[in-house]
Amino acid sequence: MSRRVRRLVPLLGLVPFFGYLTIFLLIPTVAVVVGAFVENDRASLSNIKALGDDVVLRTLWHSVVLSAESAVIGAVLGALLAYAVVTGNPDGLLRRSVTSACGVLAQFGGVTLAFAFIATLGFSGVVTEAGRDLFGIDLFGSGWLFGLKGLTLVYTYFQIPLMVIVFLPSLDGMRVQWREAAESLGASTWQFWRYIAGPLLLPAFLGSMLLLFANAFAAYATAAALVSQGSPILPLLIRNALTSEIVLGQSHLAFALALDMIVVVVIVMTLYALLLRRTSRWLT
Amino acid sequence: MSVNRTRARRRLQAFRITVFTVLGLFFLVPLASMAAYSIRVPGGGRTLDYWKQLGQDPDLRSAIITSLELAFLTVVLMLVLLVPTMIWVRLRVRSMSRVVEFLCLLPLTIPAIVLVVGLKGVYAWVAYFFGDTSLTLTFAYVVLVLPYAYRAIDAGLASIDVVTLSEAARSLGAGWFTVIARIIVPNIGAALLSAAFISVALVLGEFTLASLLNYTNLQVVINLLGKSDSQTSVAASLASLVFAFVILILLSFVGRRRTARRATIDIAPAPQPSTKEG
């Protein structure tokens, strides 16, 4: 008895940490899940049912398309950049500066990023005006920057660097000897990529793409600063539900929408974990 | 064979130059545009008036102060909460290390917008106990920076032999507090510094929680300013961006110095989604 008690005493040192996280991380998360099933202080499925509403479904679809598009574009361009980096001198200045820049740019987002693009391609943006003055073309169009297409472009700005950071280690894991072995057996460059490098890198590539998807799906601040009218994507619909309290007559709709997001993110991250396990077998 | 090699190498070189040029432009043009936009006078000419406005606008000034205070408080609270816990886990309750790690990395997978929805209720109580001030955002920000801070500190602790150091100190009569504060903490200075840097950078760029919990910080004010005075707001964005860049670049130097000593430490900001203010 007393020995068991003594064994438990060191655990007391963790009480502040667990207490803090319970209040500011676990309770909010549980509150979202529980709140989604509550309406007027009573258990109810009305909010969950509201997720089947046309507006909500369309918004979810927009979010998925935006995240997928920006993830694919970011993954492809990021992989090309990572390959361009990896074929250079591994200790060179170029590689170091590109990886540092990517570390910084992958963190770059929010209001600042939105304003950067408004200053570039907004109605009186620098590039827009240059286009007007020099070539007589209207890059602003009908304000595409403030819609889904604009969000795709702006998200690419942090997706590419993120791809470089997560994909570079896999490219580094490729052994030069594999290439030499293939060449000595008479393989062409195409055959090497088709039968060796491609299949080896594919799980890592797809995994990174999933990570980019989750990243775009969760992003809020950039869209909030860029899109002031309407709620084309899920995070903005949550903002709407939070600030106007009653949308479609449901005060707890924000909780249900948040639960919707959690479900998508959990699915994506589970797939990511599965792919990661596959990748680590070869490329570590 | 060797002709093929040369041709392949030349093709690779052309590919690399193309990629670096095109993507380099994609990343530099918006930044350059911001700079040009913030000093442009409508109709022609240049001015620094919008930059001077930054120091004069009272709302902006108080928001800058609030954000700096938030950054400071977040760093302090994060260190106080995390450092003793992580050291304690390594020394006395190893069995809990996976649980602590899981909890620390959990915020990466919960989008900030989701956290806000759940935090609304908690913040009703926070406002009740601490008053309705923006500085209470500190509590939520500690959660946001947790994964990054955890990674940095974990790497620092991995690079020293915590158990041996503490046993040596204990056998010489040091108490647990002395072990933590005077033996281990001084040995992981660089790690603590990088944890602090990344936290500051994240807090200064934070918008989601502040705006949706109805508090004011730098980004909230910049966003508001964008509606009335777009050029000053762009100048403010650029200033806050440059500040964050400088902090993150300093971070990469701290990281490199440490990596030089131990080749295996990974200090690059964690490649994970959703803590960033996307």
Please name each of the domains of chain A with its CATH number: 1-43 (no CATH), 54-281 (1.10.3720.10)
The predicted pLDDT at position B257 comes to 57
pLDDT exceeds cutoff 70 at B255: no
A201 touches chain B (CB under 8 A): no
A247 touches chain B (CB under 8 A): no
Say if CB B220 and CB B207 are below 8 A apart: yes
B248 touches chain A (CB under 8 A): yes
**Boundaries of domain holding B187:** 51-261
Sign of CA dihedral A244, A237, A218, A269: positive
pTM here is 0.87
Same domain for B123 and B18: no
A224 touches chain B (CB under 8 A): yes
Nearest to B114 among A211, A212, A258 (CB): A258
A225 touches chain B (CB under 8 A): yes
Q: Looking at the domain assignment, is residue B46 inside a domain?
A: no
The predicted pLDDT at position A155 comes to 94
B112 touches chain A (CB under 8 A): yes
Q: Looking at the domain assignment, is residue B191 inside a domain?
A: yes
The predicted pLDDT at position A158 comes to 92
Residue A210 is classified by DSSP as H
The pLDDT-based confidence of B21 (bands split at 50, 70, 90) is very high
Q: Looking at the domain assignment, is residue B266 inside a domain?
A: no
The whole-number average pLDDT for the span B236-264 is 70
CA distance B30 to chain A (A): 5
The whole-number average pLDDT for the span B81-101 is 90
| Chain B: residue whose CA lies nearest to A71 | B273
Residues A117-139: pLDDT tens digits?
A: 998 988 888 888 788 888 877 77
The pLDDT-based confidence of B2 (bands split at 50, 70, 90) is low
Same domain for B103 and B22: no
Same domain for B256 and B193: yes
CATH assignment of the domain containing B200: 1.10.3720.10
pLDDT exceeds cutoff 80 at B254: no
Please report the residues numbered 55 through 74 in chain A whose beta carbons come closer than 8 angstroms to any beta carbon of chain B.
none
Put simply, the answer to whether A157 touches B112 (Cβ < 8 Å) is no
The predicted pLDDT at position B261 comes to 46
Same domain for B242 and B183: yes
Same domain for B24 and B92: no
Helices and strands per DSSP (H, E), number in chain B? 13, 0
What's the ipTM? 0.85
Structure-block tokens of residue B7: 């041709």
The pLDDT-based confidence of B272 (bands split at 50, 70, 90) is very low
Contacts of B185 by beta carbon, 8 Å cutoff, 6+ apart: B83, B192
Long-range contacts of A127-134 (CB under 8 A, 24+ apart): A127/B29, A127/B33
∠ Cα B51 B52 B55 (to 5°)? 105
A258 touches chain B (CB under 8 A): yes
Residues B195-247: pLDDT tens digits?
A: 998 898 889 889 999 999 889 999 999 998 888 888 888 898 888 888 888 88
Residues B112-165: pLDDT tens digits?
A: 999 999 998 898 888 888 888 889 999 999 999 999 999 999 999 988 888 899
The pLDDT-based confidence of B270 (bands split at 50, 70, 90) is very low
Put simply, the answer to whether A120 touches B29 (Cβ < 8 Å) is yes
Q: Looking at the domain assignment, is residue B271 inside a domain?
A: no
Same domain for B106 and B200: yes
Q: Looking at the domain assignment, is residue B189 inside a domain?
A: yes
pLDDT exceeds cutoff 60 at B258: no
Put simply, the answer to whether A13 touches B85 (Cβ < 8 Å) is yes
- Overall residue count recorded for chain A in this entry: 284
Among the ranges given (A190-194, B22-26, B55-59, B200-204), the one the predictor scored with the smallest mean pLDDT: B55-59
DSSP codes of every residue in A83-124: HHHHTS-TTSHHHHHHHHHHHHHTT--HHHHHHHHHHHHSTT
Put simply, the answer to whether A218 touches B85 (Cβ < 8 Å) is no
What's the domain count of chain B? Answer: 2
The predicted pLDDT at position B273 comes to 41
Same domain for B150 and B130: yes
Q: What are phi and psi of B217, to 5 degrees?
A: -140, -175
The whole-number average pLDDT for the span B156-177 is 89
> What are the residues facing A247 on neighbouring strands?
A250
Put simply, the answer to whether A160 touches B23 (Cβ < 8 Å) is yes
CA A251/CA A243 separation, integer angstroms: 11
CA A102/CA A77 separation, integer angstroms: 13
| Chain A: residue whose CA lies nearest to B123 | A24
Q: Looking at the domain assignment, is residue B277 inside a domain?
A: no
What is the residue-averaged pLDDT of chain A? 85
The predicted pLDDT at position B25 comes to 93
Q: Looking at the domain assignment, is residue B275 inside a domain?
A: no
The predicted pLDDT at position B267 comes to 36
Low-confidence ranges of chain A (pLDDT < 70): 1, 245-251, 279-284
